[in-house]
Amino acid sequence: MAAGTTHDTPPVVTEDTTELSKQYDTPLGLAHTTMQALKDRIKLHYDLASDYYLSLWGEHIHHGYWATAESKAKDSKETAQINLIRLLLDISGVTAGSKVLDVGCGIGGTSRYLASQLGCTVTGITISGKQVEIAKRLTKAAAEKEEAGVGEAVEDAKGYFKLGKGRVRFVELDAETMGEYFAKDSGAFDAVWISEALSHLPNKALFFRNTYKVLKPGGKLALADWFKAENLDDKAFNDDIKPIEDGMLLPPLCTQQDYVKLAIEAGLQVHGGPKDISKDVAKTWDITWSLIQSPSLWAFALSQGRDGIAFLQSFRAMRRGYANGNFRYAVAAFRK
């Protein structure tokens, strides 16, 4: 079945289907006829929805990581999101003071963390101008909070805000053009960081080639992402993966070994992982499902048409995919 085609069968109602969500059961997202059309839809989605992301998830728009029973019992989603950043730091070996390119930076939570906590110089890039706007606003507020009473925080000539011992800036940019955009800085970055963004990129091989270009010799790629399990049959794929691809506006999902293969073909070496942490991040979607039962959020999604509703509906597929083992999550690191 092609991405985004409609379904003639009625929607599946599971035990976690709420009365509110059942009101808005619709066919999945519209088919994307070209990769550019998909990118345009992704950009529009994040331009429209990023304020809602901020209200739901906070400044870190990525999974939480609950590694132990104690963590699962006591850690908030915000703490768990920081836990995931720290895990990726441990696996990748990205060090304090590094020059980092944060690809698909969202509203800048990780970029700010790396600058304020590790003294890194961070450039965050996102395809969404709205996300750049929010990221700058939050960064400015964080800088002014750090320097209470000093005055208004301002960007320097290169667009950086000072944060802790580090600096951070944000650029609206299609990640697939980053090799060309940073051509004059070829080999300038100590690390490329990408968390839950590579799955959105149609040309993943190009991303790994561009990463090789912008990294210094010995530089690290720190990566966290969503994957499909290996060797899925048609039923498992159609039940648990296709709804996620459609609702999340994703090109076909890869397996973890697909990423390893692409990285090696681009000239990178495996540095750490892939470490599958699916069971330790799945709680994210239990929390998220409880958070999205706001009539105003569903009304907003409905106003955006099928893409908006399919997006919220895909949260249920995320939970099911993790429970069935067909949808996976892993962190990995590569080096030049």
Which of 74-83, 119-128, 291-300 has the weakest average pLDDT? 291-300
| Residue 28 confidence (pLDDT) above 50 | no
Structural domain tally of the chain? 1
Distance CA 84, CA 277 (A): 10
Domain-located, residue 2: no
Per-residue pLDDT at 16: 40
Counting other chains too, the contacts that 16-24 makes at CB distance below 8 Å and 24 or more residues apart are 16/289, 16/316, 16/319, 17/316, 18/293, 20/293, 20/295, 20/298, 21/293, 21/298, 21/312, 21/313, 21/316, 23/298, 24/298, 24/301, 24/302, 24/309, 24/312, 24/313
Q: How far is residue 235's CA from residue 300's CA, in Å, rounded to a whole number?
A: 32
List Cα–Cα distances, 76 to 66, 72, 73, 291, in angstroms.
9, 8, 9, 13
* Spatial separation of the C-alpha atoms in residues 59 and 168, rounded to whole Å: 15
Q: Residue 8 has what pLDDT?
A: 33
C-alpha to C-alpha distances, 247 to 97, 243, 308, nearest whole angstrom:
38, 6, 8
Residue matched to tokens 């100590």? 190
Residue 10 in domain: no
Q: What is the CATH number of the domain that holds 266?
A: 3.40.50.150
Name the band, by pLDDT with cuts 50, 70 and 90, for residue 37: low
Average pLDDT over residues 259-274: 98
Q: Considering the domain boundaries, does residue 261 fall inside one?
A: yes
Query: In this model, does residue 9 exceed pLDDT 60?
Result: no
What number is the average pLDDT over the span 197-207?
94
pLDDT in the model for residue 154: 85
In a domain, residue 13? The reply is: no
For residue 42, the model assigns a pLDDT of 66
pLDDT at 206: 96
pLDDT band at 198 (very low <50, low <70, confident <90, very high): very high
* Selection from 34-48, 265-279, 298-312, 314-328 with the highest mean pLDDT: 265-279
Query: For residues 32 and 36, what is the distance between their CA atoms, to the nearest angstrom?
Result: 9
The answer to whether position 7 is within a domain reads no
Question: 131-156: per-residue pLDDT in tens?
Answer: 999 999 999 999 998 887 667 888 99
Between CA 203 and CA 45 the distance in angstroms is 20
Q: Which domain holds residue 182?
A: 19-330
58 vs 84, more confident: 84
Please report whether residue 8 resides in a domain: no
Distance, CA of 206 to CA of 132 (rounded, Å):
23
What integer pLDDT is reported at residue 168 of this predicted model? 98
Query: Is position 303 within any domain?
Result: yes
pTM, two decimals, is 0.84
